[in-house]
Structure 1
């Protein structure tokens, strides 16, 4: 079962919407799904639905709500891709992290779920790293996060497990950035990095031209095992 729910901001002055996918049985753990630059579109909703089938309560907050609530874009349509880039340029990432923390609070306080993880893609992969460093999330996964080399000064704030998936031919994350990520994080006791040789940005999207079935299956299998180990939820 899925629904749209309202989540109060941290200052409790307003609220924003989130897509929620419920498992068949009461969940003992939840996962926040952090959107790409294309909004909470069909692909992100499918990510939530798959996690719900694994027994998690999965929730995708609309992080672009301050700019354009409810936006849904298709990365395979060039004008929509360009519009997504424009939205990303207007997006306040610090405010986005506060909305992610509000979503974590909603899950713990209103849904009484103690263990909460998150997974993010593209922009969401970057926000996943920021979430690991700036919030009390229990476990975090980031797929092809952009600009993480510029966030490495925050790595000492990462207290709980973080996994990053890195395609080696990412058109948005060059080789120098990948090298900086490995240099800065390979020895971090809470961080694990996985490289996907020859793969490009977006390889694990649920729908569209960017998906690579084999690599997505491998990465998602690692993610499932990671969350099972750190959130105490055995995938169905």
Structure 2
């Protein structure tokens, strides 16, 4: 069921705003500004996603003076209708409505402290204007060429700003516009600009969607929001609890409690894993937790904690005494000992694990268990993992004609 609130406007009027609440009270606020299509299901999903990150999110109906709570299809006739509303929108009134939304957020019982603003397309342009004309604490704008008419606002910015610009443009004039935007904003204090090699609709599911760029821009947006407003979760503690139940208690229910409702897991070299709560729980029980050799051990190499992810680098050492469905599917136990360098990238949504990607060099594993003849191939065995643990070991052993040793480190 959709949740809307009424927001007081000037002259005794009011307008609607879609609200998405986080799990915890006393959360920072986020004004999410819709694009030309209004508050549609796509925008509501974004609001719910940021609520999972720990924000009280309100999406003001910027079109209420034209037609309250209207939204348009992103296909067919809806595109022309949306563009018409975009042309008819009074930007001064829109800024007033954003300011009213900020005030309503500050008065909401679940909100505390700071309020940021984030927008896409039309909303991205308005997020920039809000950074210049309201008292928001930070702003994120997914912007296009429409920002060209507001370059002078760069001098009025009052808070940190992140701009996401699509890098794939169709003409020389569009390239020139991107240059003008960069020149106006890039060197202003507190402004960071990112460009992406994709079209302006790269965050919207459909023909122009670019998953990698959308994910990267999301993390960058979240970085500014969390740095400026919080919340900061103890994600290392969550990861430790996850691994404890995965390797020690082998409690699938406890593992899944550390994850979001729709997680996924991907062992990149073998493409083993699963998508979705029940499928992933079944994968852990049937293919993973009981497919770890009893002598297996992890040797830590590095551990990096970011805004919304952890990168855990380690060397796995074990003897292939049981079927390892996730790493060596279809291969019977060989009894061979092997070591392999691995990297786990653990992405979080709020204080829960959203997904995991695990990387390793499968060729070195197959070579060590006798399933790959390395003669004539640029493949090494156990030396690969041991070089990660000891940089004094020689480099370039596979490169013909390279006979000189490494420099000595001071």
**How high is the TM-score relative to the length of structure 2?**
0.54
2:94 to 93, 96, 111: 96
C-alpha change, 1:177 and 1:210, in structure 2 (3 Å) is: same
- 54-63 or 143-152: which moved more? 143-152
Q: Give me the CA root mean square deviation.
A: 1.7
Q: Distance in 2 between matches of 1:182 and 1:105?
A: 31
C-alpha change, 1:182 and 1:124, in structure 2 (3 Å) is: same
Partner of 2:143: 144
- The answer to whether the Cα contact below 8 Å between 2:29 and 2:106 also exists between their aligned partners in 1 is no
Partner of 1:193: 193
Structure 1 residue 65: Cα displacement: 0.6
1:60 aligned onto 2:27: no
Contiguous gaps of at least 5 residues in structure 1: none
Structure 1 residue 208: Cα displacement: 3.1
Per-residue CA shift, 1:56-75, capped at 9, x if unaligned? 11110110011111112121
1:79 aligned onto 2:43: no
Q: Distance in 2 between matches of 1:225 and 1:61?
A: 23
Q: Distance in 2 between matches of 1:97 and 1:126?
A: 11
C-alpha change, 1:74 and 1:58, in structure 2 (3 Å) is: same
Partner of 1:182: 182
Contiguous gaps of at least 5 residues in structure 2: 233-349, 352-410
C-alpha change, 1:121 and 1:37, in structure 2 (3 Å) is: same
The answer to which structure has the higher strand fraction is 2
Per-residue CA shift, 1:14-70, capped at 9, x if unaligned? 100000000111142011110100000011101100001111111101100111111
Per-residue CA shift, 1:74-133, capped at 9, x if unaligned? 21x120001101111111111001000000011113445320001100011110110111
Q: Distance in 2 between matches of 1:170 and 1:55?
A: 35
How many residues get paired? 232
Partner of 2:221: 223
Partner of 1:115: 114
Rg larger in 1 or in 2? 2
C-alpha change, 1:2 and 1:70, in structure 2 (3 Å) is: closer
Q: Greater relative contact order (Cα 8 A, min sep 6): structure 1 or 2?
A: 1
